[in-house]
Amino acid sequence: MRKKIVAGNWKMNKNLHECILLADDIRAGLEPLPKNQLPTVILAPAFPFLYAVSQTLGVNQSITTSAQNCSSEKSGAYTGEVSVDMIRSTGAKYVIIGHSERRSLFLETEDSIRKKLMVCLEAELAPILCIGEKSEERKEARHFEVVKKQIDSATGNLSPEILSKLVIAYEPVWAIGTGVHASPAQAQEMQAFIRQSFAQSKGMEFSQTLPILYGGSCNPGNAKELFSCKDVDGGLIGGASLNASDFLSIIKAAMDL
């Protein structure tokens, strides 16, 4: 049985003090909950605060940190970039790769996303690979085609062994920051398609253990219904992760299943 994952992407929000307070509130909120039922909880603050948040969380098997992005290069004269070795030295265990905002606002290509995926895997960081279609692509009934291309471009001929740390986050771009969310039926349909795509390319055993998260305007009101879908293994949470109470409610929704 796949363990649920609830990841909070804080994006470009909160200063250092606010990040520490939020992380501490979430950590404290998890303490009274039964450890054997907790999902894996991941917090993704901005780069400057990764170490401080990792230190605030301490050594805890149920909660850890993630970077929101990484450089596709390992080191060198790349002013302003952050390498996977730098990220790993902060205590982070995950890196979000190919988020829709990185694709649309910063023009990340399929090639650069694959390179980032590879450097993460080589550094033994778990990549959270974001994939998903835009509104017009769904309206044109190209959503399966678009998502399949993103999967193939990123994971290509990589073996199941190399991809053992991979996490997928399906984020319908039309549902991010819009207040609109995919219905449970829409989420399940796409996430089942993603799992089947991996079954065909990497084998049934790999596909059945692959965590596939939902990442489009998930909140305390819809989390339980979304997480009850067979192929939804948790969520990549945006705005609702910036409030400890809301985020804890979503975590609890993952525990009720």
Active site residues: 99, 171
Residue 5, φ and ψ in degrees, nearest 5: -130, 130
Percent of the chain that is helix, strand, coil (3-state, to 5):
45, 15, 40
- On whether the CB atoms of residues 81 and 119 are closer than 8 A, the answer is no
Closest CA to 117 of 76, 149, 164: 164
* Phi/psi of residue 40, nearest 5 degrees: -70, 125
- Check: CB of residue 68 under 8 Å from CB of residue 32: no
Instruction: Map tokens 């795509």 to a residue.
Output: 197
- Strand pairing report for 40-44 and 126-131: unpaired
